[in-house]
Chain A
């Protein structure tokens, strides 16, 4: 499942890569204006359309609601559209979930040294982790990592209310409340020039905090 907003230059490659390993790739187009939806559909993804831009959290929840209508689905993988996740990591996380009977596997870039986000991003992310752990009671090493494997029974138990980036904390909170077994798994994030340019700005962390604290 790929939430998609204005990533027309990379989305086709991401979808094709995923289709090599998975039968079903669902892109939730969050009101893109650059032809991303058409590019994803041409690459073979099932594309859902938000009529207006709502935010990544809203797109994920729309995807979850859609998958919930498919009784055959057993696991859902959330995967960023900008191509910064590795396919190998997803497959390993799925294997882990199946072999250890885990309901949730969170990807973490801080469990090993492969990923170097840079000092500023590291400080912001670690602060986000601290806030997340404080509010959720879970002990994670990474927050706001878009790579997650969620079993559909856990997926059906949550409903995301945070439309924008604060969903990444909310999803940990709500999945944690299901009391289902979870694990973190080390993944590598590929910081390409493209994903760096598209990445979260420092100022947006202020928005995330306000969204979480003031409802």
Chain B
């Protein structure tokens, strides 16, 4: 029954990634969440280096056999978040690039039209 805990945590993690994906990207809150996530990652990394047994203790608490297994689960979730975040940023960046390229195309067309009319 204790296995349930890790399952609940992992499913919740995946759902959070999904919500993260559905949020409008590029906002300040998006950036803040990414940085908080990074900060948490660093703290946990340092803690598990200094106190390796802590990870195993935590793993046992939520129904995972070894600390290394828990690390793997966490890594998979972190990877999902990274992929989602990179995808969202890519979409926003492409939008900006399109607008920029369109402005260039239209500015060039306007200049050409002006010289055409004056001929």
A50-B106 CB under 8 A given contacts A161-B95, A163-B94, A215-B91: no
How far is the CB of A135 from the nearest CB of chain B, in Å? 17
CB atoms of B106 and A62 under 8 A apart: yes
Instruction: Verify if A194 is at the interface (C-beta below 8 Å from B).
Output: no
- The yes or no answer to A48 lying at the interface (CB within 8 A) is yes
28 contacts between A and B (CB under 8 A): A46-B109, A48-B105, A48-B106, A48-B109, A49-B105, A49-B108, A50-B101, A50-B102, A51-B101, A51-B105, A52-B97, A52-B101, A54-B101, A58-B98, A58-B102, A61-B102, A62-B102, A62-B105, A65-B102, A65-B106, A66-B105, A66-B109, A69-B106, A69-B110, A161-B95, A163-B94, A163-B98, A215-B91
Output the least CB separation between B87 and chain A (Å). 8
Range class of the A interface residue count:
10 to 19
On whether the beta carbons of A50 and B91 are closer than 8 Å, the reply is: no
Q: Is B104 among interface residues, defined by CB-CB distance under 8 A?
A: yes
Q: Which of A52, A54, A66, A161 contacts B106 (CB 8 A)?
A: A66
Q: Using Cβ atoms and an 8 Å threshold, which residues of chain B touch A214?
A: 21, 87
Bound complex: CA A215 to CA B105 (Å): 25
Interface size of B by CB at 8 A reads 15
Expressed in whole angstroms, the Cα–Cα distance for A51 and B104 within the complex equals: 7
Whether a CB of chain B sits under 8 angstroms from the CB of A28 is: yes
Chain B min CB distance to A177 (Å): 20
Name the distance in Å between B110's Cβ and chain A's nearest Cβ: 7
B residues with a Cβ closer than 8 A to A are 21, 87, 91, 94-95, 97-98, 101-102, 104-106, 108-110
A134-167 with Cβ < 8 A to chain B:
161, 163
Docked pose: A33 CA to B106 CA in angstroms: 20
Scoring A residues 200 to 211 as 1 if CB is less than 8 Å from chain B, else 0, what string do you get?
000000000000
- Interface pair A58/B101, CB less than 8 Å apart: yes
- For A54, what are the chain B residues with a Cβ–Cβ distance below 8 Å? 97-98, 101
Residues of A within 8 A of B21 (CB): 214
Q: 8 tightest A-B contacts by CB?
A: A62-B102, A48-B109, A48-B105, A58-B98, A62-B105, A51-B104, A50-B101, A50-B105
Give chain A residues whose Cβ lies under 8 Å from the Cβ of B109.
46, 48, 66
Residues in A with CB closer than 8 Å to B104 are 51
* Docked CA distance A202–B108 (Å): 36
Give the nearest-CB partner of A28 in chain B: B105
- Tell me the smallest distance from the CB of B89 to a CB of chain A, in Å: 13
Tell me the complex Cα distance, A54–B87, Å.
17
A212–B47 Cα gap in the complex (Å)? Answer: 42
- Which residues of chain A in 22-52 are interfacial with respect to chain B, using CB atoms and an 8 Å cutoff? 28, 46, 48-52
Chain B positions within 8 Å of A28 at CB level: 105
* Chain B residues in 8 Å Cβ range of A52: 97, 101
